[in-house]
Structure 1
Amino acid sequence: MQAGKRNAPVLAATLMLGAMAIIGVIDNVVILLADTIGLWQFHLSRALLMLPLIAGLSLIGFGTLRPKRWWPVILRSVLITLAMLFYFGSLALMPIAQALAGLFSAPIFVLLITALGLKQHIGPWRIGAVIIGFIGILCVLQPSPTDFDVRTLMPILGGLLYALSSITTRQLCSDESTVALLANMVITLGVAGAIGLALFTAFPVATPEGAEGFVTRGLVSEFQPAVPWLLVQAIGSTVAVFMLIKAYQVGEPSFVAVFEYSVMVFGPLFAWLALGQSISAMQAVGIGLIASAGVLLGWRSSRMQAEQGIA
């Protein structure tokens, strides 16, 4: 571990579990918004609502808004912005269990990048966990070779980009203010939303009604019914993403990423309770496999940390 990096696994795990519980609830709100506004207006509006809240966090002492080093923070912000565009776009097009299964292939990508890119040993147990998790993701997504839908790849691409942003957070941004990372991420998402909104408003394309038109919808002037849900998303996202970033700053990515699997329970459970979204038996098995992979990864990470501590 590099000098100066704090490693607090219990705190990191607690922060991540709390963040995932909040995200599992508020991401279902996107399903309610998709009929009213578009992806780009959603990100721009949410960013404008979140920034005053983030500035408030800075004013009450949670950290500075100015990064110590701009380029790593900008790189991280771009990666996570692209990841969120793919993920939120997929939420309007498929059940949340499927969107989450694709996005939370990120822990698998984290381990693969850690092993292949950073040359860290991951061992047979964690390799086995990756295989189990991958099988679980296939069970939830249920891709069909005879009826392939390219939209299935959207959350998986989001997962790859999210994994890269997670590693960037730990390797290059661990000494940055959590508030600075959150603010720059939200600003980047807002800028992306403004660009997309301007393009799709100036050059409209044929857009289906309802959730199917979420990704390509331009400016909607009458969106008052969406405002309460945008506020829920903005406040919840500010709290949850602050906790998530902090978790990656105080814990190893391969360990912290394990606890992101918990959103596979929180998200579909709330979707079932509040929206009536059901999951098939195969998808339930897949969620179980993903959770099992997370437990195995967490156990091996804890064992490795204990052995290194003894050594």
Structure 2
Amino acid sequence: MNEQSTKPALAAISVLGGMAALGLTDNFVPHISERGSLWQFHLVRSVMAFLVLGAVVAFGFGSLRAKRPVAVLGRSLFQAGAMLIYFGCLSVLPIGVVVAGLFTSPLFVVLISILFQGKSVGLFRWTAVVIGFVGALLVIRPDPSALDPISFLPIVAGLLYAIGAVATRAWCEGESTLTLTAGFFGMLGVFGLIGVFVVSGEAPAGHDGFVLRSWGPLDAEMLFWFAVQAVGSLIGIGLIFRGYLLGEASHVAVFEYSLLVFASFWAWVLWDQTVPVLGLFGMVLIALAGSIIALRSTAPVGAGRVPE
């Protein structure tokens, strides 16, 4: 993308709009987790997403066909795995903590590029990794006397998302955004289908049973919230993709961290969830670290970069 073809202001607005949509719709997950199932959620939402994608293709706006199906499948496996953990954590952890954990992904991208791709990293990005790690600790605030492994799961999601981001560039160059989106939702649908048949037994009532239920009621209210999630995620992802088509990826990436603000704001408005001062400072450090990595990189390194 040359300098003349970029539209930085429109790119920023597009990404901010996408993050605002995701920050709002992700806060509706508690409406689903109260009675529904994580596996049912991903299965039904993926079916709805494919109906929308199918309509887009039917009207002549692109194709879902992959040029390298195995590469798209591999990339989708990691990205969908990250989202499986992400949404599972939303039922038991504050959304600010979960989003902050996911956004440690640029730190892992740097480490992956060093350990597995033989790339050299300068002082600025090494400093960013340290800053981001400290920020993650401030958000999670692990208590050595009562360590809860669940608190670290969002960081595992960040690791999987980082692998998916590296795979996007290394394996899926030239694939369309529709293809990658379809692969992502398709893999989540497969995970959901497997979970529906594998997960069994008694599940606790309320949000604690979200991951342990195989299926929940599929009444009008649940279908409404599933549809909100499907449409909201497609709008959010579409706006983010559009932002990367309009602007330089390394600069656009900085605006993705607005999700920390949008998600925390709506969690406060809708659920009266507040973030402690140390947690807020940790989020700032994570956003700062990711911004440094994005701006100091010659190639996009944040979470979820996709080619045109």
TM-score range, shorter chain: 0.7 to 0.9
Check the 8 A contact 1:182/1:242 in 2, yes or no.
no
Inter-partner Cα distance in structure 1 for 2:179 and 2:13: 22
Deviations 1:250-272 (A, max 9, x none): 88877665443221111111111
How far 1:8 moved relative to its partner? 6.0
1:101, distance to aligned residue in structure 2 (A): 1.5
Partner of 1:187: 186
Which residue, 195, 203, 208 being the options, matches 1:207? 203
Matches within 5 A, 1:32-71: 32-71=31-70
1:167 aligns with 2:166: yes
Q: Does the alignment pair 1:147 with 2:146? A: yes
1:88 to 1:270, Cα distance in 2 relative to 1, 3 A: same
Deviations 1:93-122 (A, max 9, x none): 100011111111111111221233223333
TM-score normalized by structure 2? Answer: 0.86
1:290 matched to 2:286? The reply is yes
1:82–1:256 Cα change, 3 Å? farther
Q: Is the 8 A contact 1:140 1:286 kept in 2?
A: yes
Does residue 232 (structure 1) correspond to residue 231 (structure 2)? The answer is no
Letter paired with 1:37: G
Aligned CA-pair RMSD: 2.6
Greater Cα shift, 69-78 or 13-22: 13-22
- The residue identity in structure 2 corresponding to 1:107 is P
Gap change, CA 1:255 and 1:106, over 3 Å in 2 = farther
State how far apart, in whole Å, the 2-side matches of 1:142 and 1:26 are.
26
- Alpha-carbon deviations, 1:211-230, whole Å to 9, x = none? 10100112223543222211
Cα distance in 2 for residues equivalent to 1:103 and 1:76: 17
What is the CA distance between 1:146 and its match in structure 2?
Answer: 0.9
Distance 2:247 2:201 in 1: 44
The answer to which of 171-180 and 215-224 deviates more is 215-224
- CA distance 1:38–1:103, shift in 2 (3 Å): same
What are the ranges of 5 or more consecutive residues in structure 2 without an aligned counterpart?
301-308
2:260 paired with 1:261: no
Query: Is the contact made by 2:86 and 2:154 (CA closer than 8 Å) also made in structure 1?
Result: yes
Moved more, 231-240 or 12-21: 12-21
8 Å CA contact 1:80, 1:161 repeated in 2: yes
Instruction: Assess, with a 3 A threshold, how the Cα gap between structure 1 residues 299 and 181 changes in structure 2: closer, same or farther.
Output: closer
SS where residue 186 of structure 2 aligns?
A: helix
Give TM-score, length-normalised by structure 1.
0.86
Partner residue in 2 for 1:279: 275
CA positional deviation for 1:243: 4.0
Note the C-alpha offset of 1:63.
2.0
Which whole-Å deviations, capped at 9, do the CAs of 1:5-51 have from their partners, x for residues lacking one?
Answer: xx969476655443322211111111221102010000011011111
CA distance in 2, matches of 1:252, 1:131: 26
**Structure 1 residue runs without a partner (length 5+):** 1-6, 305-311
Which is further off, 67-76 or 52-61?
A: 52-61
The AA in structure 2 aligned to 1:87 is Y
* Percent pairwise identity: 40
- Which region of structure 1 is more displaced relative to structure 2, 87-96 or 128-137? 128-137
Give the counterpart letter for 1:236 in structure 2: G
Instruction: Check 1:216–1:8 CA distance in 2 against 1; reply closer, same or farther (3 A cut).
Output: farther
The aligned length equals 295
Say whether 1:241 aligns with 2:237.
yes
Q: Residue by residue, what CA displacement relative to the aligned partner does 1:158-193 show, whole Å, maximum 9, x if unpaired?
A: 111111111111222130111111112111111110
User: Matched residues in 1 for 2:66 and 2:112: separation?
Assistant: 26
Give distance in 1, aligned partners of 2:215 and 2:48.
17
